[in-house]
Every structure is written in structure tokens, then in C-alpha cells.
Structure 1
Amino acid sequence: MSPQLLGLLIGSGFGTAFVLANAGDPVPGPLGIALRIAAVLCLIAVIMTGFRTDRREPPADRERPAWFGPKFGLVVVAEFALIFGGIAVLRALDAPTECNVAWIALIVGLHFVVLAPIWKRAAIAVPGALLTALGAAGMIMAAMSQTGWIPFVSGVLSGVVLLAGSLYGAARR
């Protein structure tokens, strides 16, 4: 499996998780179900398309030095520290629990923005910027005491961004 495919599978897996976990209230029931089904179908499409194109790619094209090297490791460690540390701070500040998904989207988005120059893949900065914006929007909504739609804005829409980016990446290969 190429590093690119692994990245697409991770992105689409987390995108699906974002949608599955956040497509509940206040989203109307039938729409929530439709969003969840669409997310799973998109995940399946990424898997099928990704593996099909991965098999056709010559082995020499699969090699990308340091994709998961020390710089990547540092970014991921910082990401986990910021996610879990930030959630602990939010909890200590008695922030609404809906802030957690906004914080996660914000940090995951920033992790993509930071990885873009490391991986020399400017394209991943686009979903990174969108996730960062959706996470920031959720945090702003919380500051304005408008928490009801944070799971949709920062969770479902972030999942859609990850799934769309992964599907585009799999099809483009």
C-alpha cells in the first residue's frame, strides 16, 4: 500500500467518523440518516477507488521518502497533545461539550496545513484550511452561546470535507 493511499484511507475514515458521530440533533432524523449513509458510501468509494489505482501504480512511484518520518511524527504528537490538552482546558473552563468537536476540527485542520509543506503536497492545505475554518466557526458559535449547530458545522461539514478530499485524491490518482 502506498503512503498516499494510506493517507486517503485515514482521511476518509476520520471523515466518516466525524459524520457518523455528529449527524444527530438538531439535524432532522431522515437527513441525519442520509448523511450517515452517504458518508459510509463515500468511504467505500475511497477504498475501492484507492486500491484499484494503487495496484496500477508502478512501485517506483509509490516511494516518497519521509512521508511518515520524524517531521510527520512530531506533527502528530503535537496534534494529539493539542487535541487532548485543549479538551482538558475546555472542560476546566466549563465550556459546552459541543466545543470539543470544534476544537478537534480546528487542530486537525492545522495539522494538514502544517503537513502540506513537509509532504510537498499543497493540495492538502485546502481541506486543512477548510477544517480550520469550520473548527474556528464552531468555537465562535460557542462564544456566542449558539452551541446547537456546532456538531453540524464543525463535525458533519468537517467530515464532508475530509471525505470529499479523500475521494477526489483517490479518483485523481
Structure 2
Amino acid sequence: MTGLLVGAVFGAVFVVVNAQSPLNTVTVNLLRVAACLAAAGVLAMWMVIARKERPAAGSRRNMFSRGYLIVVAAEAILLFGGIQVLAAWERPEQTNVAWVAFVVGVHFIALAPIWKDWGIAVPGVVLTLLGGVGLVLASTAAVSWVPIVSGVLSGAVLLAGAVTFGWRNVAAGTA
């Protein structure tokens, strides 16, 4: 559930930061409210599960293994280094969100075999594709849509996954 909570928070941030023009104000506000409510829902589910689960000492899987740390270090280098390269190439600012979505997606795909959880590869593939589409759009007249495609939609994917799998965990815990 902690991974789902992290995904929900980042998903909400993706939506809140990137919901903007060319969308109208009402749509922007609805998206932001829905994202915050979804993240709050995942937090509530996390609290329900956390109260019920009291793992025995040593029974908890270590998410933060050496492989995880390598993937996260590579992700940080790619994120910040890539943004610097994009700036040096004088790419539109909107390209940054596409790059972030692309790298975050690849990071999920890379973590799937490390965590032996192929379910996280699915949002990874979707985020990678949304980031790639945004990178292409950034070179067109549709550049203003990059934050929506690569930011808002990526955030919605993270939130939908977190809510879905969080609900499954809560339902399984009460069965």
C-alpha cells in the first residue's frame, strides 16, 4: 500500500501542476479536485490497511533493495540531466513534463522484475507512451497540449491504478 500511496501523491501532483490552458477553468478545477480526492481516498485506504496489518518482524518485503536504489539513482540522473539537455537544445518548456512522464514510466518498467511485480509495468508502459507522445507533440503546433497529454493523463493513470489496487487490497482485507 505504501507504493500505491506514493503513486497516488505523484499522480495528484502531475494533475494539479499540469491541468492548465488550453483546458477551460471549470475543467481544470474539476480535474484538480478529482485528483486530490483520489489521493485522499488512497490515503484513507492506506490507513485502513495499516491498522489491520501488523507484520511480524522480518516478514516485510524490502522494497528498497540495491536494485531499487540503482533504478532510482538512474532515474534522478536521467530526469535532471535530461531536463538540462532539453534546456540546452532550447526545447519548449512543455517538453519537460513529457520527459518526466517518459522517465517515470521507464522506471516502473525497470522496477517490475526487481520487485517481481509485473503489475507495475502496465502503468509504466502507459506513462512511457504518454511521455513519448508528448515529446513528439512538443515539436508541433500542439505544444500547448503536452502538459495535458503527458502530465494530466499520466497523473490520471497513476491515480486510477492506485485507487483500483488500493480498493482491491481493502476488499481483500475485509473478506
TM-score, L = length of structure 1 = 0.93
1:20-39 matched pairs, under 5 angstroms: 20-39=16-35
Counterpart CA distance in 1 for 2:7 and 2:97 is 16
- Could you tell me whether the CA contact under 8 Å between 1:50 and 1:171 is conserved in 2? no
CA distance in 2, matches of 1:102, 1:123: 23
* Aligned partner letter, 1:15: G
2:72 corresponds to which of 41, 51, 76: 76
Q: Tell me if 1:63 matches 2:51.
A: no
Distance 1:77 1:168, change over 3 A: same
The RMSD of aligned alpha carbons is: 1.4
Q: Over residues 39-97 of structure 1, what are the superposed CA-to-partner deviations in whole Å (9 max), with x where a residue is unaligned?
A: 00000000001220232235149611x31011100100000100000000000000000
Query: Secondary structure in 2 aligned to 1:143?
Result: coil
Residue of structure 1 in register with 2:143 after alignment: 147
SS in 2 for 1:68: coil
Provide, for residues 25-50 of structure 1, a one-character-per-residue CA deviation record: whole Å limited to 9, x for no partner: 01111000000000000000000012
Q: Is residue 2–residue 46 contact of structure 2 (8 Å, CA) maintained in 1?
A: no
Counterpart Cα distance in 2 of 1:33 and 1:143 = 28
Secondary structure of 1:44's counterpart equals helix
Residue of structure 2 in register with 1:100 after alignment = 96
Alpha-carbon contact 1:106-1:133 (below 8 Å) kept:
yes
Q: Measure the CA separation in 2 of the matches of 1:40 and 1:62.
A: 33
CA contact (8 A) 1:23 1:156 kept: yes
The letter for the 2-side match of 1:126 is: V
Gap runs ≥5 in structure 2: 170-175
Matched length: 168
Tell whether 2:133 aligns with 1:137. Answer: yes
Is 1:160 matched with 2:156?
yes
Structure-1 residue corresponding to 2:13: 17
Could you tell me how far apart the structure 2 residues matched to 1:165 and 1:51 are?
18
- Matching residue's letter, 1:114: A
